Structure 1
Amino acid sequence: MQSKSAFQLLYNSKLTNVSLRRVLFVIIISCPLVYYVFPSIFHYLRGSSTCSVESYIKSNFEKNTRLLQNYDAMYFSTLDKEVQNHGFPFVGNGKLGFVVDYKNPVFSLFLDLQDKQKLEQDVITHVKLPINLLVRPEHVSRNEERDDSSFVNFHHGIVQHFSCFKMDDSNGNCIHVNHTVVAHRSRPHLFLQNIELSTEKHLTYLDETIHLVKHDWTANTNFKQLTKYVHPSKEYKLYSGTIKVSKKMWMVVIVAVCDTPELISLKNGRTSIHQLNVVMHSKPVKDLSKVQALTQNVIEKTLNHMDEISKIDVRTLFQEHKNAWDDIWHTGLSIKMSTGSDPNIPEPRLINATLYYILSTLHSKLHDEHIRDDQKQSLLKRLQTPDFCFTGHPTVHAKKLWQYVSNTEELIELARLWSMTLRKKGCSILLSEGAEGFLQAIVLSFGGLQFTENDLQFNTNPDILHNQITFHHIIYKNDTIDISIKYIAGETSIQVSLTDDTVLPLYACEAGCSLPVVRLTKDAKTLPVYVTDPLTSILYISHDRQHLLDLKDTLHINKLVNHLEHMESKNSGLPMIFWVSIGTLIVLFHLFLIRIILKEYSSTTISKSSRNYYSNRGRLAS
């Protein structure tokens, strides 16, 4: 017997058309209701996970695509090894440094210039701390099926650690974690964490519990909890420990840790927590008893600092941090590599990575929240009038200075090498200012920009000018200047412009200053690129117009050609057909010579054979 479908049975039943329409209407209306009231039924019927760990990680990658395309970020993922760059997830502000790694976090103290102590021929610049302040969110089930990725945002000095792990249920639901970590740039003793937890939008009915794993770093160190403080808005614990920074030097370290709950409930499918930590230390001293005497003073400073930041909204603290980094980056470099360009010039991402990691080891004194007005004016003066910096060959081709680092040891060594190089080249005043001065010195050194008593000179190697390079916001006294090398269709020129209005007029002229002096404005002025014999700077900028006019008669130039002619003459040589002809003649000459030698050798052999023949005949006849 042929079976009938449910639809046929319904059609053949005695129900009227009106009743049938009512039944169908009820079914259609009830389906969405059942879906939202009993979603687990549909999850079971679908037989697959409602989320994908991989899709969440990749979605965060796509959100940061613009940063990556602009070379302002690095990406690390457990899913896609190919997109990883050399480097490591690191945040720092010149006082504190943190490697944001759940498996192997590293915490360091960076010492200021006035705190450095010369010990046994070494300068102590940083000290590793035996503590772990990094909070790690985990599901209470301890499900290990998870993936992670990290973004290092160079522009804002932020590491974002994205995690996604499956919950312990039959539906395979996921919890998303966005863990943001900063070493606060304008409050250099503050380590700030923000953790956002969420599930899929359609899973808000779930009530999940997250465990915040906090390492007990007091168990295996000499750090001890002093007491617990209750602030009107936050509770925190205070820890004290003594750190040995060398064979004979000690210092006390005080850490204030906000009290966060160990279990977090996601009743609405979304929540966030903030973790504030203050780390302060004394100066290194040789006598351990003196360290103990300094403890109370450091404790009082830590309590005052914690009391201050506890009154500030966390979003405000994050915005302060971003604003400080934005201001530091007002001076910078951008480079566009041309086809067939010099392979020794570092790629743009390597330049940005090097600058970020170096700046993360330096205190931004100018942006410190507690700086006095007189100190701020003194620092600004150092930036505006650095006397002499940079002298010597440009650092653009210095491979040791432009390299990726993968741990704190390599980072410290790279920072030391940069500091030594810049100091030897006359940039000590800029470096003493802090992060902003250091960045200014690096940018100047990249292209060979030099301050002198009367002007700012662009004393670069003409052979690198076939790339497009821009020096942003070079500080020259009270003005900031953009200098761009333009390389279009084989022609090279320089564009110079002011970024702000200037009180005193500012002038510029090209190599040799043979053309009329140009007054600079916000509108870019284009100057030709000339190469002189003997070599001189390709650009001069000064407030003294007469000084630039006098350069024409004081540079004593024997020859002046434009950059294109210089490159053509450098690359020119005898035509290929000449070398082919020379090679052919050499080959023919050797072939002719070989022929003569073989002919001579052959005739000599025949002559000897003839003599032997006649000689033998005589003896036989006899």
Structure 2
Amino acid sequence: MWLQQRLKGLPGLLSSSWARRVLIGLLLFLIFYWYLGAERRWTFLGGSAVPGGAAGECLQSEIHKWKSIADRGEGLYSTHSDPLDTPFVTGNGHILIDVDANKLWVASSSQPGSAPVHQTEHSPRVNVHLVGRRAEAEAYLLGYRKGAVLSVRCASPAAVQSALDCVSIREEFIAHRSRPNVYLQRIHINNPSDRVANVDITPSSPGSRSRFSSSVDTLDDREVELSSGTVQVENSQVVLVVVVTRKLKNRIQVAAKSEYSDNILSVVWTSEPIESSKLEATFSSLRDGAKKEMEELLRVDMKELVQKHQQAWMDLFSSGIEMRKITDSNTPSSRTVNNTLYYILSSSTAPLLDQRPSAEERARLVSSLNYADHCFSGHATMHAENLWPERVSNTAQILQLVTLWTLTLQKRGCKVLVAAGAHGAMQGMVLSFGGLQFTENHLQFQADPDVLHNSYALRGIHYNQDLINLAVLLDGEGKPFLHLSVRQQEAAVKLYACEAGCLNEPVELTSEVKGHTFPVMVTQPITPLLYISTDLRHLQDLRHTLHLKAILAHEEHMANRYPGLPFLFWFSVASLITLFHLFLFKLIYNEYCGPGAKPLFRSKIGYTSGFQHLVSTLPALFTSAVDRKETDQNLAIRESSGGTSSERILGFIRRQVEVNMLEPFTGVGADSFRHASPVLTLRSDSTRSPAKEKTTAATPLRSLNRSFSAGLLCPGSNRDELRVFEHADLSEDFQSWAQFDVHGSHEVVLLQQKQSLPRVFLKESMS
């Protein structure tokens, strides 16, 4: 009741001018608040624009360049607000560091193809954190072309409320590509505030049950930390691991408005699987070797060391796979492809970058890399989901993936590429993705023609001394074609190419920027889509050895492969639909226009069986009237006329009004019903529809169309109303009795208008 009274007073409240002004101002504020957006709303109300407060704002400003790196497909990053279930690792085939989990994995063999499959209990990451109570926000970047994991942390002391005063700690974790035993952690601290920042640098201490122990030693007047331990392998053997790390001060003070940078070098040496009895002798050898390498590194310029590492990774990614347009869900995305390539390369050694192999061994590796005969045999691996997994959630899955790729390449004729280490693994994966295969005299592209609706590029394919870029592109109509370009490295060697079947003269490939295009032709039986060779005569003779039945354009092949449903099927469907609509039209026509058709509209109050029986008695009444030669159009049979038909009809009217007619009509109350009189009226079409031709006294009664109404005459307070509950038309030919049409209506007529109605046909008082 209280709410109802307040709502009733609301129109009066809004009638005042000040209330309207307040309402309009509130609406404008809500529109402005919605227009600001989610982030600006929080800032407008005095809060931080991003989660994490001042530290979160500082983090966003630090990583704004990472988004462009991820968009170019050169890395991916993870933040606390947008985490990725992806391991952030760096490795070189000899060691593998899981930065997020702070775990070190080592290989038990230096042979190519052997991944670092042994997890140690050593924690390679040194902890760097701001002293005191603070709020922190952290993000990681996995850089493919840098071969490193980058970390950014923004620390905001409790008293700091501005992002400009947050201390940022940048770290870069590198497993050096050309120095397989070297691990580097670079630190850069920026203190833009007006106070001194105290930063603790502490190594992760091994657990009480750890197999690793550590001690402090000196090397050229510098302190180093020496850690050693074992990893249990098969046959009761162990792998001995020795780690020498340059030790920094436990606490560093970064002055106000200043920066601090340093590098934490680590050297990791491992042994082959050995017996426990040989641990002491092996430990002395590994310790001396690790300390000697550390001495060399301390004299090396760190910037030059990092540049060599980054250049090695950029050379590796000069080859690769670029996904441009994907039209199905089975094709791996660009992120999936780059992730897989990076994980495989991080777990593969690089003999070509190592200085230890002899000149002859290096020449053999380069030769196998430039022409890997019979690699890659079999179908393309583009749609092999186990080789290009969309999700890799931990380091163990990375190592399983490396094992699967190594086995696949070895079984498909790529053993020489596996022996070439990371460079060979990249070549083998690129060849397998597109279905490229080296034969004795040429390189052939044998991709499945049915999957060429995807657009992708294979770059940096080694062929002799040149690098070939092959792309599957789509024209404006969605038809695929091949684009080929060459990057000549040293001495110019002529290359030739021809499309499927080699019916046209082979084209000489040049180093032009625009490259060369070839149509996609499909042969019957299926043969490679493209041939590349240094021997022109070989390609000219090749056309005579293929023995083809037909050569089709790609669109013709797809039309023949997927012709769709036959013409007879569509003709049958169209015929059934047409016949159904014709049958439906016939039903509708017979219902409303044919013989015995029903009228288009009917009353919402259905006829009862009693009322239909009442209607069925009227023809007999009309017949008796005709027999008495009553020619008046508005016949009246009053109560005094008696007769069996009249009494029966009067009884029916009373019962129908009391039982059937009154119940669905809620406008008549109980009091009105007790004083109401049932009424039945009869009229001709000329009376009901003045627009029609009027009937005359000479019109035979048998040919007249009649209608009647049955209802209640209800007395009101000021006037009486005639409530007509049922209205029926009798379109009856009394000579043939062939048609009997009844439809109902519902209306209320004022008593003053009763004079325009036909004369009362039957009337009985209900008293």
Same fold (TM over 0.5): yes
Deviation at 1:88, TM superposition (A): 1.9
Contact 1:96–1:107 (8 Å) recurs in 2: yes
Aligned partners of 1:447 and 1:258: how far apart in 2? 46
Give the conservation status (yes or no) of the 8 Å contact 1:218–1:224. no
Q: Please, which of 390, 397, 414 is the counterpart of residue 401 of structure 2?
A: 414
Quote the residue 1:35 is aligned against. Answer: none
The alpha-carbon distance between structure 1 residues 125 and 69, as it changes in their structure 2 partners (threshold 3 A), is closer
Q: 1:528 to 1:223 in 2, by over 3 A?
A: same
Q: CA offsets per residue over residues 250-299 of structure 1, 9 Å max, x none?
A: 121111010111101111431112100001011012x2112332222212
1:96 partner letter: I
Q: Is 1:94–1:111's contact at 8 Å kept on the other side of the alignment?
A: no
Deviation string 1:110-144 (CA, Å, 9 cap, x unpaired) is 3446499xxxxxx985111101121222122153x
In 2: Cα distance, 1:412 partner to 1:164 partner: 33
Q: Helix, strand or coil for the counterpart of 1:62?
A: coil
CA contact 1:93–1:183 (8 Å) conserved in 2? yes
Is the CA contact (8 Å cut-off) linking 1:97 and 1:108 kept in structure 2? Answer: yes
Matched residue, 2:156: 166
The residue that corresponds to 1:67 in the other structure is 69
1:190 pairs with 2:182: yes
| Superposed displacement of residue 463, structure 1 | 1.5
**What is the identity, as a one-letter code, of the residue corresponding to 1:345?**
T
For 1:606, the equivalent position in structure 2 comes to none
Instruction: Determine whether 1:522 maps to 2:511.
Output: yes
2:317 maps to 329
Q: 1:113 to 1:186 in 2, by over 3 A?
A: closer
Letter in 2 for 1:92: G
| Equivalent position of 1:136 in the other structure | 127
> Which residue is 1:617 aligned to?
none
Give yes or no for contact 1:278–1:306 (8 Å, CA) kept in 2. yes
1:150 aligned to 2:140? yes
Q: Which amino acid aligns with 1:517?
A: P
Which residue of the partner structure matches residue 41 of structure 1?
A: none
Alpha-carbon distance in 2 for matches of 1:421, 1:60: 42
CA distance in 2, matches of 1:138, 1:322: 27
Matches within 5 A, 1:279-318: 279-285=268-274, 287-318=275-306
Asked if the contact 1:187–1:369 (Cα under 8 Å) also holds between the matched residues in 2, the reply is: no
Question: Conserved in 2, the CA contact under 8 Å of 1:110 and 1:361?
Answer: no
Matches within 5 A, 1:120-131: 126-131=117-122
Deviation for aligned residue 1:364: 1.4
Asked if 1:271 is matched to 2:271, the reply is no
Q: Matched residues in 2 for 1:541 and 1:207: separation?
A: 65
Q: CA deviation at 1:241?
A: 2.2
Give the CA deviation at 1:369: 4.4
- Structure 2 gaps, min length 5: 1-45, 584-767
Deviates most, 459-468 or 347-356: 459-468
Q: How does 1:25-40 map to 2 (within 5 A)?
A: none
Query: What is the letter of the counterpart of residue 224 of structure 1?
Result: S
Are residues 47 and 388 of structure 1, via their aligned partners in 2, closer, same or farther at CA, if it must alter by over 3 Å?
closer
Higher CA-based Rg: 2
Moved more, 578-587 or 455-464: 578-587
RMSD of equivalent CA atoms: 2.7
Match of 1:423, as an amino acid? Q
Structure 2: how far apart are the matches of 1:267 and 1:548? 71
Aligned match of 2:448: 461
Say if 1:194 and 1:274, in contact at 8 Å, map to a contact too: yes
1:486 match: 473
Residue in 1 that maps onto 2:94:
95
For 2:173, the equivalent position in structure 1 comes to 181
Could you tell me the TM-score, scaled by structure 1's length? 0.80
Out of 550, 553, 565, the position equivalent to 2:544 is 553
The CA deviation string for residues 151-170 of structure 1, in whole angstroms up to 9 with x for no partner, is 10111111111111212436
Q: Distance in 2 between matches of 1:353 and 1:495?
A: 25
What is the SS of the residue equivalent to 1:442? helix
Distance (Å, rounded) in 2 between the aligned partners of 1:177 and 1:476:
45
Partner-residue secondary structure (3-state), 1:554: coil
C-alpha separation between the residues in 1 aligned to 2:567 and 2:573?
10
Question: Counterpart in 1 of 2:228?
Answer: 240
The residue number in structure 2 matching 1:538 is 529
* 8 Å contact from structure 2 (residues 121, 211) kept in 1: no
Q: Is the 8 A contact 2:344 2:402 kept in 1?
A: yes
Give the match's secondary structure for 1:553.
Answer: coil
Q: Return the offset for 1:196.
A: 0.9
Q: Is the contact between residue 162 and residue 177 of structure 1 (CA under 8 Å) also seen in structure 2? A: yes
SS of 1:565 mapped into structure 2: helix
For 1:377, which of 363, 369, 374 is the aligned residue? 363
Seen in structure 2, the aligned counterparts of structure 1 residues 289 and 226 have a Cα distance that, compared at 3 Å, is: farther
Cα distance, 1:478 vs structure 2 = 2.0
Question: What is residue 78 of structure 2 aligned with on the other side?
Answer: 76
What's the % identity of the aligned pairs?
Answer: 32
- Tell me the alpha carbon deviations over residues 473-497 of structure 1, each in whole angstroms, 9 at most, x when there is no partner: 1001222111111211223221222
AA aligned to 1:491 is K
Can you list the C-alpha shifts for 1:520-569, whole angstroms capped at 9, x where unaligned?
Answer: 11121211110000000001111111110111100011110111222233
- Residues 292-313 of structure 1: per-residue CA shift (max 9 Å, x gap): 3222221222122111111112
Q: Which amino acid aligns with 1:61?
A: I
Aligned to 2:680: none
Encode CA deviations 1:558-616: one digit per residue, 9 max, x unaligned: 11011122223334324789437338649979xx9xxxxxxxxxxxxxxxxxxxxxxxx
Q: Distance in 2 between matches of 1:345 and 1:299?
A: 49
Contact 2:206 2:213 in 1 (8 A): no
CA distance in structure 1 between the partners assigned to 2:520 and 2:110 by the alignment: 41
**Cα distance in 1 between the residues matched to 2:567 and 2:187:** 66
Q: Tell me, in whole angstroms, the C-alpha distance in 2 between the residues paired with 1:72 and 1:550.
A: 43
Paired position in structure 2 for 1:3: none
Q: Could you tell me whether the CA contact under 8 Å between 2:58 and 2:166 is conserved in 1?
A: no
TM-score by length of 2: 0.65
Residue of structure 1 aligned with 2:462, choices 472, 475, 495: 475
Q: 1:512 to 1:168 in 2, by over 3 A?
A: same
Structure 1 residues not aligned, in runs of 5+: 1-45, 117-122, 593-622
1:54-87 Cα offsets, whole Å, 9 max, x none, are 1122223321122111122111111x22xx4442
Deviations 1:165-203 (A, max 9, x none): 212436564211111111111111111011111123xx2
Q: Is the 8 A contact 1:156 1:325 kept in 2?
A: yes
Quick one: structure 1 residues 142 and 361, their matched pair in 2 at CA, closer, same or farther if it must change by over 3 Å?
farther
Distance in 2, matches of 1:378 and 1:124, equals 22
The amino acid across from 1:60 in the alignment is E
Whether 1:446 aligns to 2:436 is no
8 Å CA contact 1:139–1:210 kept in 2: the answer is: yes
Whether the 8 Å contact between 1:509 and 1:548 is mirrored in structure 2 is: yes
Residue of 341, 345, 351 corresponding to 1:355: 341
Contact 1:48 1:171 in 2 (8 A): no
Q: Which has the higher contact order (CA 8 A, sep 6+)?
A: 1
Matched residue, 1:344: 330
**Preserved contact between residue 209 and residue 264 of structure 1 (Cα < 8 Å):** yes
Distance 1:182 1:335 in 2: 27
Counterpart of 1:505 in structure 2 is: 494
